[in-house]
């Protein structure tokens, strides 16, 4: 493409929990989706990991904001500032005599309303994107794990992110049936916080609950290999004295059980609506799990026992959507019909 050096091409997985940006098939940014804002001036003072370290520890002049809730933009201004900040983080290392025009492909939940889609497009354009394309998350996830989405074969993807769980049946380059439910990583985190309050009378913050989920998170009680219990320190709710509690994967599986049942029901609902020919393909190929939630220990086994179809946890499920978005960016002509 002539003058392609004048255009910077970026693929962005704008997630509720994390934002991943890829350029030339390489991850150039992987940061938590959070921004710290000075309340007096309204200006951002930190983005990503730096802002996350401030989360829950700020004084009255600083506010940490997670601009996305349930997979969609909840705070338009903060989202725009965050995207702008992330783009600066990528470009500050590259000395340029001019600002290249920016071509962006951003992925969005498949259940997004027109208003939510508009909000993502506007945020990306206001942050400097000249050509902005949007692609649905389950489609990006399918492309990212190497599924031939244009083939006349039914494939089912379950992408458990931070804000939403996206379930979709894909065939012939389109989404045949999809379901987007707002039960995902963030809900697991708040359920862990609630469990710790009720069972152990200990108050923990969002970051600690997230850490517990990563270290000992499980979907079933009986695991082949058990992680070491996680030691939690915090104040006793009644006395405010410091206490230390040991948390096991068995407890976490119990605490998030209700949410996992909602995900199971949504998967069954999508399968019930799937045309028979595509259903047969799915039974043969199995169902693909992507997103951070796919890393819950024993989730594939739990879902197989419930639904009786094999589940495959994709390689590096956290970045499957970002990889797919990057492939779509390189082949915007080929995948034009998948984008908005």
| 37 close to 78: Cβ distance less than 8 angstroms | yes
Could you give the 3-state DSSP secondary structure of residue 165? strand
Q: Give the C-alpha separation, 110 to 157, whole Å.
A: 12
Half-sphere exposure of 72 (CA within 13 A, CB side): 16
| pLDDT tens digits along 264-316 | 999 999 999 999 999 999 999 999 999 999 999 999 999 999 999 999 999 99
User: pTM (2 decimals)?
Assistant: 0.90
| pLDDT tens digits along 140-181 | 999 999 999 999 999 999 999 999 999 999 999 899 999 999
Pick from 137, 130, 189, 210: which is nearest to 167 by CA? Answer: 137
**Partners of 73 in beta bridges:** 68
First to last CA, the chain: 22
| 194 close to 207: Cβ distance less than 8 angstroms | no
Domains and CATH numbers, the chain: 4-140+321-338 (3.30.420.40), 150-183+257-317 (3.30.420.40), 186-248 (3.90.640.10)
Rg for the chain, CA atoms, rounded: 21
297 CB-near residues (< 8 Å, 6+ apart): 217, 218, 219, 220, 223, 227, 249
Q: Give the model's pLDDT for residue 51.
A: 94
Q: Give the C-alpha separation, 77 to 64, whole Å.
A: 13
**Partners of 158 in beta bridges:** 167, 289
Q: Give the model's pLDDT for residue 3.
A: 43
Q: Give the model's pLDDT for residue 94.
A: 55
Helix axes 76-91, 114-126, angle to 10 degrees: 40
Pick from 67, 63, 64: which is nearest to 76 by CA? Answer: 67
Number of H helices, E strands in the chain: 11, 17
Cα pseudo-dihedral 265, 271, 274, 275, rounded to 10: -140
Q: Give the model's pLDDT for residue 338.
A: 67
Q: Give the C-alpha separation, 330 to 332, whole Å.
A: 6
Residue ranges, the chain, pLDDT below 50: 1-3, 95, 97
């Amino acid at each position: 493409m002539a003058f392609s050096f004048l255009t910077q091409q970026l693929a962005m997985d704008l997630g509720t929990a994390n934002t991943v940006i890829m350029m030339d098939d390489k991850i150039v940014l992987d940061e938590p989706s959070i921004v710290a804002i000075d309340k007096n001036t309204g200006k951002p003072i930190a983005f990503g990991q730096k802002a996350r370290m401030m989360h829950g520890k700020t004084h009255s002049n600083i506010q940490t904001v997670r601009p996305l809730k349930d997979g969609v933009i909840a705070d338009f201004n903060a989202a725009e500032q965050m995207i702008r900040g992330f783009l600066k983080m990528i470009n500050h290392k590259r000395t340029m005599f001019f600002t290249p025009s920016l071509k962006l492909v951003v992925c969005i939940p498949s259940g997004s309303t027109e208003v939510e889609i508009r909000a993502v497009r506007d945020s990306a354009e206001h942050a400097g994107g000249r050509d902005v394309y949007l692609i649905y998350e389950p489609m990006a996830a399918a492309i990212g794990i190497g599924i031939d989405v244009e083939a006349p074969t039914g494939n089912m993807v379950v992408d458990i992110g931070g804000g939403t769980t996206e379930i979709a049946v894909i065939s012939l380059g389109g989404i045949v049936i999809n379901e987007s439910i707002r039960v995902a990583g963030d809900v697991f985190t708040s359920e862990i916080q609630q469990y710790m309050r009720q069972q152990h009378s200990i108050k923990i913050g969002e970051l600690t609950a997230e850490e517990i989920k990563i270290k000992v998170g499980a979907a079933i009680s009986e695991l082949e290999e058990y992680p070491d219990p996680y030691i939690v320190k915090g104040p006793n709710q009644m006395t405010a004295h410091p206490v230390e509690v040991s948390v096991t994967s068995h407890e976490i599986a119990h605490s998030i059980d209700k949410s996992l049942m909602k995900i199971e029901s949504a998967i069954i609902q999508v399968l019930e609506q799937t045309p028979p020919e595509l259903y047969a393909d799915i039974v043969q190929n199995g169902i693909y799990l992507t997103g951070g939630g796919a890393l819950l220990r024993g989730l594939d086994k739990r879902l197989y026992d419930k639904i009786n179809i094999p589940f495959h946890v994709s390689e590096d499920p956290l970045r499957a959507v970002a990889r797919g978005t990057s492939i779509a960016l390189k082949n915007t002509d080929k995948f034009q019909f998948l984008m908005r």
